[in-house]
A and B are shown apart, each in its own frame.
Chain A
Amino acid sequence: DADVTQTPRNRITKTGKRIMLECSQTKGHDRMYWYRQDPGLGLRLIYYSFDVKDINKGEISDGYSVSRQAQAKFSLSLESAIPNQTALYFCATGSPVTAQYFGPGTRLTVL
């Protein structure tokens, strides 16, 4: 089984809808991250969490919220989706000294 799983893998939605992307990991790490990937812009950090009670904003958190339900689960919500949130979203986990382990990504399209 994959170390980091994301659901759904693909989602098409309409402007104004609420969307939740879910992430689960079996690596046992405390830290989890949500990134957004856009062509030519690389990976940009949306939110990160050091443990269940420690959640922090990244460089592009506006329009997004997160919930850390357990050590292994970290979900990302778009309260009212807009077209410029169309992107590829990645969840990751890792410790301060190891590399990060990424999920397969969720391709989100907002019409």
Chain B
Amino acid sequence: AQSVAQPEDQVNVAEGNPLTVKCTYSVSGNPYLFWYVQYPNRGLQFLLKYITGDNLVKGSYGFEAEFNKSQTSFHLKKPSALVSDSALYFCAVRDGASGGSYIPTFGRGTSLIVHP
């Protein structure tokens, strides 16, 4: 079975400071990992994904994420937060093991609040 956890319901950071939104996962095979962002009254938008290759993945809007296999984590990061980054962030995982349905599982979401 696959699962994903976002341990923080809310993250607060001051504008200009670095931000981290945490995600840990559990799969039986190799993980396919995704981050999405949801702005108010909007659908989810894809930010970045890890399937294979470099552990540091760069995505949209200056976000990046670091895949750590030993810690089964895929934390979302940005060097300098903007007020406009305030939104709800979802981590998702699907198991890359053969024979699966390849349906992703989503975390509960982390609300990021960037203070001016």
Contacts and interface: CB of A to CB of B under 8 A. Distances in A.
B32 A90 contact: no
A42 B45 contact: no
Nearest to B32: A97
Interface in A31-46: 33, 35, 40-43, 45
Contacts of A92: 44
A99 B43 contact: no
Contacts of A41: 108
A58 B49 CA distance: 23
Nearest to A56: B101
B34 A99 contact: yes
B44 A102 contact: yes
B8 interface: no
Given A40-B9, A42-B90, A43-B90, A101 B106 contact: no
Interface residues of A, number: 22
Nearest to A91: B43
A102 B43 contact: yes
Contacts of B9: 40
B43 A103 contact: yes
Interface string A32-67: 010100001111010010000000101000000000
Interface of A: 4, 33, 35, 40-43, 45, 48, 56, 58, 90, 92, 96-97, 99-105
Interface of B: 9, 32, 34, 36, 41-46, 49, 51, 90, 101-104, 106-109
